[in-house]
């Protein structure tokens, strides 16, 4: 059984939806950022701060390569994971790719003050530029689900109906 892979910008709900979806299916849930933290014993922001984004991306690819070989996983990726073609191929080979979409306003409202994401620390214009740049990649997914105005349960139901 192929994995279910959630991609999309930061704050679109990948981890929250992924956990709930995995519960509904009685599948295991894997979060790439969590796995990177477990392997390196550092938080994502700590890796960025100490070693830079390049190091984070290489840890991310190692995790993706490993988990893509498994089955019946709901995988929540980081917002930049799918941008690396090698990650995309590995995930797509053994999984259905679902992009969670949300407007930037919905994302910023959701994230609020408790934001420790290194790539969301800049001015709104920089975040917006990144959001726009990445839409083309996310649009290649097998399915796209807009999460902007929906509850987690509504999004999960919508995904289940797609499968």
Binding residues for Mg(2+) are 15
Q: How many CA atoms lie within 13 A of 94 on its CB side?
A: 17
Site for ligand S3P in 127-146 (CB under 6 A): none
Decide: 38 and 138 in contact? Cβ < 8 Å: no
The CA angle 124-112-151, to the nearest 5 degrees, is 115
Binding-site positions: 11-16, 33, 57, 79, 117, 134
The CA angle 65-71-77, to the nearest 5 degrees, is 50
Q: Applying CB under 6 A, which part among 9-17, 88-96, 100-108, 140-148 lies near ligand S3P?
A: 9-17
Q: With binding defined as CB under 6 A, does residue 47 bind ligand S3P?
A: no
CB of 53 to ligand S3P, least distance (A): 8
Q: How many chain residues bind ligand S3P (CB under 6 A)?
A: 11
> Which conformational region is residue 149 in: left (phi greater than 0), alpha (psi within -120 to 50 degrees), or beta?
alpha
Interface with ligand S3P (CB under 6 A), residue from 19, 55, 110, 117:
117
Q: With binding defined as CB under 6 A, does residue 78 bind ligand S3P?
A: yes
């Amino acid at each position: 059984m192929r994995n279910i892979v959630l991609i999309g910008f930061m704050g679109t709900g990948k981890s929250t939806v992924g956990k709930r979806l995995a519960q509904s299916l009685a599948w295991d849930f894997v979060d790439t950022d969590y796995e990177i933290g477990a392997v390196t014993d550092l938080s994502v922001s700590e890796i960025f701060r100490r070693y830079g984004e390049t190091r984070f991306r290489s840890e991310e690819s190692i995790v993706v390569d490993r988990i893509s070989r498994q089955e019946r996983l709901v995988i929540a990726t980081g917002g930049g994971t799918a941008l690396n073609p090698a990650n995309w191929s590995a995930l797509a080979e053994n999984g259905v790719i679902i992009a969670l979409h949300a407007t930037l306003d919905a994302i910023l409202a959701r994230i609020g003050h408790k934001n420790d994401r290194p790539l969301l620390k800049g001015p709104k214009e920089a975040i917006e530029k990144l959001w726009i740049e990445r839409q083309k990649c996310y649009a290649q997914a097998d399915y796209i689900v807009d999460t902007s105005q929906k509850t987690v349960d509504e999004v999960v139901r919508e995904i289940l109906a797609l499968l």
